[in-house]
Amino acid sequence: MAVTVAAVMLTVGCSTDGTVDSADLTVTPPAVEKSPAPPATGYGALIGLPLSAYGLSEQDDEQLFQVRKALVTHCMKGLGHKGYSGQDMVMVAVEDKEAARPIGAWGYIGARTAKRLGFHPEEAKMPSSDDAKALTAEEEKDSRSCTEKVGKDLPSLADTDGGKLTDLLFGQSFQRVAADSRVATAREQWSTCMTKAGHPADDPEELAAGPWDTPKPTKKEISAATAAESCTASSGLAGVYFAVLAGYQKQLISGNATALNSYQKQVREHTDRAAHLQAEIR
């Protein structure tokens, strides 16, 4: 059945006062194949989106964390804390990609995770530290000081115009996909399936929100989660959602290519500077 959807007017751009404003941009419902293949994981689908190419990658995040840790450690040793090794700086890595973001507006992806966790989040596993002893009050004070200093030498990109623009475009793409008629149809099919499975629900995110406040997933929660996963597959919700989302993002990228390419260049300069700062202290 053909569905006619009116074009959506989005405005995107940067203002002269440093806030991200908008320039007129017409975004139309993107063409997608009839039954798009679902992604293997929600996490992988999110980091594989077109807009995710603009900004820091997982590898960049890891590199910058290690550089900041090295710079703070160097600063601390310079202040006389010879035993400091960055033990108060930890980065929690995503080990199980399926369990990282199994559920969202796209439904539930991951049968193994549904059976194991239900709607409970995966418990973060903190990495072991080279030195687990707590910092002294003086070490904590100097660690904060060194962290602030490193933050000035290697500031976050989140507050740059490029970072704000990317966040804005992500938000607009999520709004567009939520209102898309094809996604709405798949979501209705998902809801009908959930009702037949004995777990009435109109929206995957509302279902996930619970309340599921028990320490461990209950049988009812596991049953609802496995039904959500099964209904996501049968309705094709995840495949449609991410295909349509990617289509909207490609249009937004095309309409903001100059600004986004400039931001991408800024990201590379940022990671190059990080490598240079690390080399200086070796």
SS3 80: coil
Domain boundaries, the chain: 36-280
**What does pTM read for this prediction?**
0.86
Of 87 and 42, more confident: 42
Task: Note whether 13 and 23 are within 8 A (CB).
Answer: yes
pLDDT at 242 over 70: yes
Radius of gyration of the chain (CA): 23
Confidence of residue 9 (pLDDT cuts 50, 70, 90): very low
pLDDT at 15: 35
Q: Provide mean pLDDT across the span 192-197.
A: 98
pLDDT at 2: 31
What is the CA angle 184-217-227, rounded to 5? 35
Of 129 and 97, more confident: 97
Pairing of strands 8-12, 107-108: unpaired
pLDDT at 93: 72
Name beta bridge partners: 26: 9
Which two structure tokens, joined as six digits, stand for 47?
A: 């980091």
Number of CB atoms found within 10 A of residue 175's CB: 13
- Render pLDDT for 198-239 as a digit per residue (tens, 0 to 9): 999 999 999 999 999 999 999 999 999 999 999 999 999 999
Which two structure tokens, joined as six digits, stand for 79?
A: 């202040």
